[in-house]
Structure 1
Amino acid sequence: MLSRISNITRSDGGYEDLHGVSLSDPTSSESSNNTPTGTPANNLAEDTYRVDEAVDQLGFGKFQVKLSFLTGMAWMSDAMEMMILSMLAPALHCAWGIPSWQQAMLTTVVFGGMMVSSGAWGSVCDKLGRKVALIISSAFTAYYGILSAASPNIIWILILRALVGFGIGGAPQSVTLYAEFLPSSARARCVVLIEVFWAIGSCFEVILALLIMPTLGWRWLLVLSSIPLVIFCFLCFWLPESPRFDMARGRIHAAQKTLEKIAKENNKSMPLGKLASENVTSSGKPKRGRIQDLFSPELRLTTFLLWIIWLANAFSYYGIVLVTTQLFEASGSSTCSSVSKNVDKVDEPPCLLDCKMLTTRDYVDLLWTTLAEFPGILVTLLIIEWIGRRKTMIIEMVAFSFFVLLVNICASRGVLTFLLFTARGFITGAFQAAYVYTPEVYPTTTRALGLGTCSGMARIGAIVTPFVAQVLLKKSIHVAISIYGAVGVLAAVATFFLPIETMGRIMKDSAD
């Protein structure tokens, strides 16, 4: 009865059903006496549904499986471009005799490009669509990745790798697009599991380097590492545009066709009714977050602490990746040899031609430490819904600090590999827990903005870490390793003071 009343509107000639059925004025006693008591079903107004309701009803099926592999391939390809940094520096040190600060710059310029481009790719994403932004950024990364293989000197490779970093800045759009096609019941697990593709990409890059570096050299490694992105660009034409983006741009028909495609591939029926536009403000424009909203009384402390946590996570994660290759390059059978080597050379002028290429054993040990990302993700999946997001991050950051500080002891090569393996597993899990927590704690109106600023702080940490892992480490292993341990403890303390635990908490639309 209430639904019937809600579908009646006033017209000049009385009242009219939204389906066009005329009704007499209910104030007329004659009309009221003749009004039928039953309401035929076909006179009811057509139901409406939103994109999120349709995606939830269509569930996780064949379409999402294909999408998982496609977006995962983009994530894997970008991981390869990032992992190559830890192996490129030692190769160029031997090929061109570059000093440690220039080795650090190889990594710094990539993250500098990522930081500069994040806003630009976000603008492209909002104006042209998630799919278009993803294809352009991937093609951009692949092009300059291949071109950097022809670099004649250090200046050119720094410029070209910075442009590679600019392209990699668009990589998060793959996760954004992926999440918008996922039903709410599977979104958290799938976003965590997409990290598996990053780990696969990192492992694949180490294996590729093991096969290519001893025979063909670093130039061919750069070329071959860009091929997966080229393949992804061609496969991307299967990918439909996000229906959420189409609705935001007023392209309701395009969004409807995308949802019908999902329904067909998942063998599910579409929701009954008509696709409705998303809610907008009274001015007719979607409500957008402002930077000052992140510093409202409810979010001020959370924002400040999350910036510390993200900076520390990126500083520690990329630091442990770079430290691993530096220690393997410098050490013999134990860390003691590299420590004594540094002590003996404190007062000697640096010899740029004194280099040591990574051996097969170094690559194998590097692969073992990279494989640590898989158990790190698994541990996070098992405990994050049991003890909560905050406790998960605290435990994993403290565990990272504990194991990384143990690197300071004089340990055998096998023990060193185990310590680096364990430390990398815990920092991977902590970083992924932060990826889960951050979108949950911010309301819809500031969620993208909050995640974006946290990502910006992470890139600052990644820009700084090469000067600790590749420059300071060669002066004092103990000081460099202790810095990473201290930063992990700092992140754990910051997480402890987070005022909100998001496990089981409904995602809010506004901060009110």
Structure 2
Amino acid sequence: MEMTERNKDFVGVEKDGFNFSGLEVNGSGEGFDEGGTIRRNAAAHLNQIGAEIQLTASVSGVVPDDTFTVSQAISSIGFGRFQILLSLAVGLCWMADSMEMMILSILPLSLHCEWGIDQYRQAFLTTIVFIGMMLSSMFWGKVSDRFGRKPALIISGIFLFFYAFLSSFSPSYPWILCLRFMVGFNIGCVPQSVTLYAEFLPSKQRGKCVVLLDCFWALGACLEVLLAMFIMPSLGWRWLLAISSLPSLMFLLAASWLPESPRFMAASGQSEKALETLTKVANQNGKSMLLGRLIVDDVHTLSRGRLGDLLSKELRKTTILLWVIWLTASFAYYGVVLMSTELFNSTDHLCSRTFDKKIEPTCSADCHPLKMSDYNHLLWTTLAEFPGIVVSLILIEKLGRKYTMALEFLGFTIVLCTLYYCAADRTSVTVILFFARALGSGLFQTAYVYTPEVYPTVLRSVGVGSCSGVARLGAMLTPYIAQVLLQRSFQGAVSVYVISTLLATLCCFFLPIETRGREMKDQNH
């Protein structure tokens, strides 16, 4: 409400002759020398009271009739043409990420055949990408919370395409290590696209839409396998790297259309720009914009983009549990991805290997390139991403976010346990990995829904960035289990994944907040 207008009316009553604090003030303002001062002080005092009422009402979820919050505006605008176009733009970002990740299950084996790198250097080629992602996740989160989601995504997109394309010209192993590290560093910004996407979605559609975004990840993974199937036998890994960098270029072109998040602009004091963006979104969706004045949902109590605030009293338990959940989800998911190639490429009974089996140095003459049948099995396990999306889509609104994650982690653990009875039968291994991949994919998407919802706008990007960074730590460790330990003891490698996913299941139950049906907060209360 416009308190200043109502204050004028109140002071106008004084002009007609109102006894204020025991002093008679007449219509002309005469009678006492202090009369003018009293009226000014009264107006200022009422303005202050009005502001306090407005903020208190906002905190309690009730706002004055002629004001509205970003959440109310987004809910009023609803899901429409704008969100569909935004889904396509953000989806390209996810496809680029997915294809660069899927390369990691194919590239090391190819370099072993061409350059003769051993298992440890193959594993480190995967690890170096995740090191870059881990180191940059927090960096991009802070950039997004301080300067905006859009600038961070555009800058990272430019460098992602540049280094991904340049990787195809690598002359030696040290060169490709450096270039893939830079690819990983810029992929670290991809989670911020989910933050931007979620901040434009009404609460009723948010969970389903973020889960469906995984369709682009699944498409990218399947496309990468198909590209490898037809490019690797004839053109080799250099052409595969060059062509796989094109989705990042396509996202970069689409990013120029991306609007900045109105939640970010409102929380950073740019209410006019936020209102302008919301009006454009309403026009694209064919809806009328709410009338009145835009206000921030809550009072500012936290500074923007500070990592220490994630461990404040209110958020400490949630943050620590989410770090464990994200680390384990990444560790297990990428473990299955890398394990798939190792199992399909094995020429002996890998399932029967024990700790007395030593890893012998290999040379390029000993390499066994993936055959067409291997790519077919790899494609089948990759297609499991789609059933994973369906499972999460059904459960996330019925059971809630944290119980969906718990159930998927438990299912992941049970499926992995069936590998103990593996008899090197390719069909059974493909089926087991199919279900594991489906549950792992669903886990990631549910975590991507829950995390932006649980953190306030002022900490949303740095919260998602910290979780993503911790997840990369798990991804850094998993090559030494799925590619190195697996060669010595199959049962030992599987046991590591089973124990870790069981621990993460318990962590899901202890999460203090369920975000299903909860509006996204601009501040922490």
Deviation at 1:501, TM superposition (A): 4.1
The match for 2:480 is 467
The match for 1:378 is 390
- Code of the aligned partner of 2:137: S
Is the 1:294–1:450 Cα contact (8 Å) retained in structure 2?
yes
Q: Does 1:202 align with 2:214?
A: no
Q: Where does the alignment leave 5 or more consecutive residues of structure 2 unmatched?
A: 28-63
Q: Give the Cα–Cα distance (whole angstroms) in 2 for the partners of residues 226 and 204 of structure 1.
A: 12
Is the 2:141–2:465 Cα contact (8 Å) retained in structure 1?
no
Is the 2:299–2:523 Cα contact (8 Å) retained in structure 1?
no
The match for 2:324 is 308
Distance 1:147 1:25, change over 3 A: farther
Is the 1:189–1:381 Cα contact (8 Å) retained in structure 2?
yes
Alignment match of 2:292 (pick from 264, 270, 273): 273
- Code of the aligned partner of 1:369: T
- Matches for 1:319-468 after TM superposition, within 5 Å: 319-331=335-347, 337-339=349-351, 346=357, 349-353=360-364, 354-408=366-420, 409-442=422-455, 446-468=459-481
Instruction: Tell me which moved more, 239-248 or 309-318.
Output: 239-248
Distance 1:449 1:77, change over 3 A: closer
- Matches for 1:50-449 after TM superposition, within 5 Å: 50-276=69-295, 280-281=299-300, 287-288=303-304, 291=307, 293-296=309-312, 299-331=315-347, 337-339=349-351, 346=357, 349-353=360-364, 354-408=366-420, 409-442=422-455, 446-449=459-462
Q: Give the Cα–Cα distance (whole angstroms) in 2 for the partners of residues 315 and 24 of structure 1.
A: 75
Distance 1:329 1:232, change over 3 A: same
Instruction: Tell me which moved more, 385-394 or 436-445.
Output: 436-445
Distance 1:229 1:183, change over 3 A: same
Partner SS, residue 230 of structure 1: helix
Distance 1:344 1:25, change over 3 A: closer
Q: Give the Cα–Cα distance (whole angstroms) in 1 for the partners of residues 339 and 320 of structure 2.
A: 28
Distance 1:23 1:188, change over 3 A: farther
Q: Give the Cα–Cα distance (whole angstroms) in 1 for the partners of residues 266 and 275 of structure 2.
A: 9
Partner SS, residue 368 of structure 2: coil
Alignment match of 1:48 (pick from 67, 72, 81): 67
Distance 1:394 1:249, change over 3 A: closer
Instruction: Tell me which moved more, 463-472 or 397-406.
Output: 397-406
Distance 1:286 1:295, change over 3 A: closer
Q: Give the Cα–Cα distance (whole angstroms) in 1 for the partners of residues 395 and 228 of structure 2.
A: 34
Q: Give the Cα–Cα distance (whole angstroms) in 2 for the partners of residues 256 and 503 of structure 1.
A: 27
Distance 1:93 1:139, change over 3 A: same
- Code of the aligned partner of 1:310: W
- Code of the aligned partner of 1:352: C
Deviation at 1:53, TM superposition (A): 2.3
Distance 1:202 1:26, change over 3 A: farther
Partner SS, residue 385 of structure 1: helix
Deviation at 1:182, TM superposition (A): 1.5
- Code of the aligned partner of 1:412: D
Instruction: Tell me which moved more, 286-295 or 80-89.
Output: 286-295
Instruction: Tell me which moved more, 363-372 or 231-240.
Output: 231-240
Is the 1:83–1:202 Cα contact (8 Å) retained in structure 2?
yes
Deviation at 1:145, TM superposition (A): 0.4
The match for 2:53 is none
- The alignment's TM-score, normalised by the length of structure 1, stands at 0.86
- How many percent of aligned residue pairs carry the same amino acid? 51
Instruction: Tell me which moved more, 165-174 or 488-497.
Output: 488-497
Is the 1:145–1:223 Cα contact (8 Å) retained in structure 2?
yes
Q: Give the Cα–Cα distance (whole angstroms) in 1 for the partners of residues 155 and 65 of structure 2.
A: 40
Taking CA–CA contacts closer than 8 Å with sequence separation of 6 or more, which of the two structures ends up with the larger relative contact order? 2
Q: Give the Cα–Cα distance (whole angstroms) in 1 for the partners of residues 115 and 103 of structure 2.
A: 17
Deviation at 1:277, TM superposition (A): 5.8
Q: Give the Cα–Cα distance (whole angstroms) in 2 for the partners of residues 125 and 496 of structure 1.
A: 30
The match for 1:39 is none
Per-residue CA shift, 1:394-449, capped at 9, x if unaligned?
22212212222322321421111000001111122223223333344445665544
Q: Where does the alignment leave 5 or more consecutive residues of structure 1 unmatched?
A: 17-21, 32-44
Q: Give the Cα–Cα distance (whole angstroms) in 2 for the partners of residues 505 and 233 of structure 1.
A: 32
Alignment match of 1:483 (pick from 477, 480, 496): 496
Per-residue CA shift, 1:232-285, capped at 9, x if unaligned?
21222222222333334544443333222212211111111244466554xxx8
Partner SS, residue 448 of structure 2: helix
- Code of the aligned partner of 1:113: G
Is the 2:310–2:459 Cα contact (8 Å) retained in structure 1?
yes
- The alignment's TM-score, normalised by the length of structure 2, stands at 0.84
Deviation at 1:186, TM superposition (A): 1.6
Per-residue CA shift, 1:102-127, capped at 9, x if unaligned?
11111111111111112322333244
Distance 1:360 1:269, change over 3 A: same
Distance 1:87 1:237, change over 3 A: same
Distance 1:289 1:243, change over 3 A: closer
Deviation at 1:286, TM superposition (A): 6.4
How many residue pairs were aligned?
483
Distance 1:442 1:171, change over 3 A: closer
The match for 2:49 is none
Root-mean-square deviation (CA, aligned residues, Å) is 3.1
Per-residue CA shift, 1:281-329, capped at 9, x if unaligned?
4xxx864475555445554444333222211111001111000011111
Q: Give the Cα–Cα distance (whole angstroms) in 2 for the partners of residues 250 and 9 of structure 1.
A: 25
- Code of the aligned partner of 2:249: V
Deviation at 1:510, TM superposition (A): 6.4
Q: Give the Cα–Cα distance (whole angstroms) in 2 for the partners of residues 510 and 273 of structure 1.
A: 22
Is the 1:247–1:278 Cα contact (8 Å) retained in structure 2?
no
